[in-house]
Amino acid sequence: MQQTIVVAKNESRPTTDVALSARAVNAWYGAKLAIRDITLDFRRHSITALMGPSGCGKTTFLRCLNRLHESALGAKTTGEVLLDGMDIYDPGVNPVVTRRRIGMVFQRPNPFPTMSILENVTSGPRYTGMASQPPELMEIAETALRRAALFDEVKDKLNSPALSLSGGQQQRLCIARALAVTPEVLLMDEPTSALDPLSTLKIEELMEQLAAEFTVVIVTHNLQQAARVSHYAAFMLGDENRVGSVVEYDATQQIFTHPKDRRTEDYITGRFG
């Protein structure tokens, strides 16, 4: 059955400035090649959606963009990822610093369970040495929570356990935690897949607001979501050996209305995936 997908009129942004670039990126789990030769540019102050069926390497590629992939046992990455022109895989680059500049929000909310709401948000600044005094930390926390559209809901219970929040609030708390270290790029791995429709709507509205300040890259299985929130979209597909690569990349409007590759058209119209 064909799907009807409404595409928001958000196909482009006035700037063509590139914040993050992947160049010929390959990734392995042990001897198994997972993604092959991916080259993509991510434009500043825009949302790029990585789409494709399960097992095509979307999350693996996302984790390569901030050197998180290499933390898995036996994992390896080749190629370049350029942040403002500097290769984050250069031997002289500290991966901890990289992950501060390129933040990550995971599929399921993962607040630190033994910490309060405030401690969760300020954990990054404390760990990285950005701030240590209570007034500074409170200012950082308030700014991050406001950016995550959560401050008004939690301002009177900042010392309550993070797990006392609802699922949608926990995910926005994790977004605030990522924003507290002032990243330049925010990676989001299916950030609404575990949430109810109302919480999903709040996160989508938040993504659009964040794109005014940050470069946002999301992995999503939800084609309607990709059409609603993204400015650019990349369609990934695995081959017969389940090695993922990019089939097509373009402005979202173009991908959903006039795809150049038949495989892209078949996916977005529901013929497979």
Q: Which domains does the chain have, with CATH numbers?
A: 18-111+183-268 (3.40.50.300)
What pLDDT sits at residue 272?
Answer: 77
What pLDDT sits at residue 14?
Answer: 43
Helix (H), strand (E) at residue 183: none
Query: How do the pLDDT tens digits run along the chain, 273 residues long?
Result: 456 576 665 544 444 599 999 999 999 999 999 999 999 999 999 999 999 999 999 999 999 999 999 999 999 999 999 998 899 999 999 998 999 999 999 999 999 999 999 999 999 999 888 877 889 999 999 999 999 999 999 999 999 999 999 999 999 999 999 999 999 999 999 999 989 999 999 999 999 999 999 999 999 999 999 999 999 999 999 999 999 999 999 999 999 999 999 999 999 998 876
The Cα–Cα gap between 226 and 218 comes to 9
The Cα–Cα gap between 83 and 71 comes to 19
What pLDDT sits at residue 132?
Answer: 76
Q: What is the pTM (predicted TM-score) of this model? A: 0.91
What pLDDT sits at residue 130?
Answer: 82
Tokens 């999350």, residue located: 59
Residues 82-123: pLDDT tens digits?
998 899 999 999 998 999 999 999 999 999 999 999 999 999
The rounded radius of gyration (Å) of the Cα atoms in the chain is 19
| Assigned token pair, 117 | 């709401």
Cα–Cα separations (whole angstroms), residue 150 to 2, 127, 175, 228, 242: 38, 22, 10, 22, 39
DSSP E strands, 64-213: 75-83, 86-87, 102-105, 185-189
